[in-house]
Amino acid sequence: MTFELNEEHLAVQAAARDFAQNVLKPGVIERDSKMEYPTEQIRQMGELGFLGMMVSPEYGGGGMDTMSYVLAMEEISKVDNSCSVIMSVNNSLVCWGIETFGTEEQKQKYLPRLASGEWIGSFCLSEPEAGSDATSQRTTAIDQGDHYILNGTKNWITNGGTSKLHLVIAQTDAEKGHHGINAFIVEADWDGVSVGAKEDKLGIRSSDTHTIMYTDVKVPKENRIGEDGFGFKFAMKTLSGGRIGIAAQALGIAGGAYELSIAYSQERKAFGKEIAKHQAIGFKLANMAMDIEAAKMLVYRAAWLKDQGLDYTGASSMAKLYASEAAMKHTVEAVQIHGGYGFVKEYHVERLMRDAKITQIYEGTSEIQRIVISRNISKGQHYIPVIGNSAVTV
Ligand code: CAA
């Protein structure tokens, strides 16, 4: 067993940390307060290759592994979770979904633009009445021979206002249940696509989240992803990978709160010594460090399983569940460690606390992750420790 990162991993981690601390940090409080979309920062992220990290070089991407992506997500999420959710959706839902399941024409047409950041993508699964219960799709795509006619409403769509490409999940044959669901690539400027108001959110406030309406949108048949009826499995398989990205985001949030808490508590004095030397604070830091290390093992393991081509569905849900719960718990503690300073924007921890909440909700709530994990257990994945070279199950 090795816990070492290779040269490429270390280089990506250092580049992401440098970008987050020096480029993202200076304006992050203002962007969050004003709900200002990070246009220039996202442009730079595209230029630096953070928006198509795992896309093959032949389609304009970085050709990196999931582990590199996770390390970059973690560093960027220590600072700016609006930027990291935009990055996560573009990389692990949109680019990965198209590259893994799309046709050669779809890959050639769309991936270079998405990987460079010229286009940002969005993943349009959730609906007003289909959130956790993702099979209850009301959006319809009616087969008209060489095209489909798409009608419906999607909500809570990350990148909803800025994305040029939507991956839309829709019901094509209600009688077939989830086997009658398909996924489509829809361009945002096609007739009939309209975007609702930007949501005013608790956290990740400068990312743009919208409702999107589709009214008689003509979608060419060549824009369907996979065989007829593959859409629900496409969404589930894509989300399994996406959850590793959100797990890395949560890990970064917890890590960012921890780093700020260490710095503050080693400087701030009370009762004649640094507050880190008081047991009340020292124990909080110890709990944080332990949970972050545990979350890190789960997140890196899920990335490693994906990179090895092994089953990672249960592992990604475990990583997301554990890391997001740790992020929520320990950002609250970070605010407490900072006392009154923690309650004001200037010290960053209140924003991380607000950002942590969404990691327990999007790409499947904590309750949904428990469903996925328990269903994997009932399928025979008992998650008993590694035996021989089998890092998966016994
Ligand atoms: N991989 C492959 N296939 C899968 C799968 C996976 N991970 N999970 C399920 N399936 C398959 C099942 O095998 C089954 O196929 P068959 O009938 O052919 O055997 C089919 O899909 C239906 O599965 P279930 O019976 O398990 O379906 P369910 O209705 O009970 O729902 C669920 C399962 C896990 C609860 C699912 O609905 C789910 O994940 N819900 C949460 C949705 C979600 O995460 N939404 C997030 C929105 S996107 C977002 O947040 C992006 C953003 O902008 C940040």
Contact 124 CB / ligand 1 (< 6 Å)? no
Q: By percentage, how much of the chain surpasses pLDDT 70?
A: 96
Q: Are residues 101 and 146 in the same domain?
A: no
Q: Is residue 2 assigned to a domain?
A: no
Structure confidence at residue 3 (pLDDT)? 82
The verdict on residue 1 lying in a domain is: no
| Enclosing domain of residue 66 | 7-120
Average pLDDT of span 376-392: 63
pLDDT at site 382: 60
Q: Indicate whether residue 294 lines ligand 1 (CB < 6 A).
A: no
Question: Is 353 a domain residue?
Answer: yes
Q: For the chain, what is the domain count?
A: 3
Nearest CA to ligand 1 atom 40: 132
Does residue 359's CB lie within 6 angstroms of at least one atom of ligand 1?
Answer: no
Sign of CA dihedral 389, 390, 392, 394: negative
pLDDT given for residue 355 in this prediction: 98
How large is the average pLDDT for residues 38-62? 98
The CATH number of whichever domain residue 165 belongs to comes to 2.40.110.10
Q: Which residues contact 133 (CB under 8 A, 6 or more apart)?
A: none
Measured in angstroms, how far is the CA atom of residue 325 from the centroid of ligand 1? 21
- What is the pLDDT, as a whole number, of residue 2? 79
Contact between residue 214 and residue 330 where contact means Cβ atoms under 8 Å apart: no
pLDDT digits (tens, 9 = 90+) for 279-323: 999 999 999 999 999 999 999 999 999 999 999 999 999 999 999
H/E segment holding residue 29 = helix 25-34
Ligand 1 neighbour 370 (Cβ under 6 A): no
Q: 333 and 264, same structural domain?
A: yes
Q: How far is the CA of 134 from the centre of ligand 1 (A)?
A: 7
30 is catalytic: no
**Which residue out of 179, 234, 236 has the highest number of ligand 1 atoms within 8 Å of its CB and is therefore the one to mutate?**
236
Q: Are strands 165-171 and 181-187 parallel, antiparallel or unpaired?
A: antiparallel
Left, alpha or beta for 73 (phi > 0: left; psi -120 to 50: alpha)?
A: alpha
Maximum distance among all Cα pairs of the chain, rounded to whole angstroms: 78
Is the pLDDT confidence value at 171 over 60? yes
Residue 209 predicted with pLDDT over 80: yes
pLDDT for the residue numbered 380: 77
Rounded distance, CA 323 to CA 10, Å?
22
Cα first-last separation, the chain? 18
Write down the pTM of the prediction: 0.96
- Ligand 1: which atom is nearest the Cα of residue 85? 54
- Per-residue pLDDT averaged across 354-361, rounded? 98
* Phi, psi torsion values for 139, nearest 5 degrees: -65, 135
| Confidence band of 394 (pLDDT split at 50, 70, 90) | very low
Q: How far apart are CA 36 and CA 209, in angstroms?
A: 12
Mean pLDDT of 126-136: 92
Catalytic residue among 105, 267, 363, 367: 363
Tens of pLDDT, residue by residue over 251-284, are 999 999 999 999 999 999 999 999 999 999 999 9
Q: What is the average pLDDT score of the chain?
A: 95
- As a whole number, mean pLDDT of residues 66-72 equals 98
Which residues are CB-contacts of 183 (< 8 A; sequence separation ≥ 6)?
Answer: 97, 101, 167, 168, 169, 170, 224, 225, 226, 230, 231, 234, 235
Same domain, 187 and 52: no
**393 pLDDT more than 70:** no
**Residue 158 DSSP code:** E
Identify the band that residue 389 occupies on the pLDDT scale cut at 50, 70 and 90: low
Asked whether residue 91 falls in the same domain as residue 208, the answer is: no
Residue located nearest, by CA, to atom 11 of ligand 1: 233
Do 362 and 342 lie in one domain? The reply is yes
Residue 340, Cβ neighbours under 10 Å: how many?
8
| pLDDT over 90, % of the chain | 93
